[in-house]
């Protein structure tokens, strides 16, 4: 027991033993400096230096971008940024594709490069040696009869075998008996002047005003043209067609069914034939333009 205590005492004594570090000039042997040291002091000094260096390195990594290069940490830090950038790139690509289609259509309109019947190659169809003769069905005969009688296609009585009943039930109402909803409320800046090829009326209304369908119908035109900008046309019953031109945006597509009073476009100032935000509205009856002011009030 005493031997172990002596060993521990001797180790502590060795650590506490003092030494003198003398620095001398190599040529003159002149003493430049003298330092009193011990092993314990040296070990403590080295430990303090190591601790301080460790703290400085940790702070440097934590408060500088160098932490991104640490394996594992950089992946977590950059993952959110990468996902956000990827989403932004995808949105920009969609916009670029849409702009490319729009610019290409606009260029074709300016240059007049449209696909015509002459530009489409003829398709050669070879008939078979023997053709199967198919008997006409009753509905087909009624449809042919309707075309021959100059009645609108589709108004055919397919549920009854009495053609006279079908013809009798179909009657076109006079336009005076029809009810219209004004497409927009506002003042008339230019009226119906067919002799000047102004086949409608121009209605002034506030910006972002919704344009409404005057009657129930089906959208037959929903496109952009060079002269009239964003244009939409609706086919109604009784051989009526309405057109809404110079819109800033179209809310319906070709083939959509619309109800009277339903919003179909937003008033705007698009196209060459316009000098300010307004709606150019046309109403055609039996293939001829009519004055909309004769049938409803815009105020």
How many other CB atoms are there within 10 angstroms of residue 277's CB atom?
18
The CATH H-level superfamily of 176-294 is Glucose Permease (Domain IIA) (2.70.70.10)
Nearest to 168 by CA among 156, 158, 179: 156
> How many CB atoms sit inside 10 A of residue 181's CB?
13
Q: How many CB atoms lie within 10 A of CB 11?
A: 10
pLDDT tens-digit map of 94-124 = 888 888 877 777 676 566 555 544 554 554 4
**98/88 Cα distance (integer angstroms):** 16
DSSP 218-260: EEEEEEEETTTEEEEEEEETTTEEEEEEEESEE---TT-EE-T
pLDDT at res. 203: 92
Separation of CA 92 from chain center: 10
**pLDDT tens string 240-249:** 999 999 999 9
How many angstroms separate the Cα of 127 from the Cα of each of 123, 131, 132?
Answer: 13, 8, 11
Degrees (nearest 5) of the Cα angle 185, 190, 195? 135
Domain ranges of the chain: 2-62, 140-171, 176-294
Q: Is the pLDDT of residue 64 over 70?
A: yes
pLDDT digits over 3-49, tens only? 555 565 577 777 778 888 888 888 887 888 887 888 888 888 899 99
């Amino acid at each position: 027991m005493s031997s172990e205590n002596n060993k521990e005492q001797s180790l502590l004594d060795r650590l506490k033993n003092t030494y003198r570090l003398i620095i001398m000039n190599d040529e003159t042997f002149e003493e430049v400096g003298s330092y009193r040291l011990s092993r314990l002091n040296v070990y403590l000094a080295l430990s303090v230096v190591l601790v301080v260096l460790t703290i400085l390195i940790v702070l440097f990594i934590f408060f500088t971008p160098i932490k991104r290069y640490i394996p594992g940490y950089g992946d977590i830090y950059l993952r959110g940024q990468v996902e956000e950038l990827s989403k932004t790139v995808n949105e920009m690509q969609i916009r670029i594709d849409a702009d490319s289609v729009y610019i290409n259509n606009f260029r074709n309109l300016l240059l007049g490069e449209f696909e015509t019947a002459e530009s489409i190659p003829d398709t050669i169809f070879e008939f078979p040696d023997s053709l199967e003769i198919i008997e006409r069905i009753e509905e087909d005969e009624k449809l042919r009869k309707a075309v021959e009688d100059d009645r609108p296609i589709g108004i055919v009585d397919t549920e009854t075998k009495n053609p006279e009943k079908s013809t009798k039930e179909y009657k076109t109402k006079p336009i005076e008996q029809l009810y219209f909803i004004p497409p927009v409320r506002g003042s008339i800046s230019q009226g119906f002047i067919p002799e000047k090829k102004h086949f409608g009326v121009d209605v002034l209304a506030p910006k972002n005003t919704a344009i409404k369908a005057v009657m129930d119908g089906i959208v037959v035109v929903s496109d952009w043209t060079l002269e009239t900008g964003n244009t939409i046309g609706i086919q109604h019953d009784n051989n009526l067609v309405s057109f809404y031109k110079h819109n800033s945006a179209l809310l319906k597509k070709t083939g959509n069914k619309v109800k009277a009073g339903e919003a179909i476009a937003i008033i705007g100032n698009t196209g060459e034939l316009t000098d300010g935000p307004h709606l150019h509205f046309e109403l055609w009856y039996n293939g001829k333009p009519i004055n909309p002011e004769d049938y409803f009030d815009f105020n």
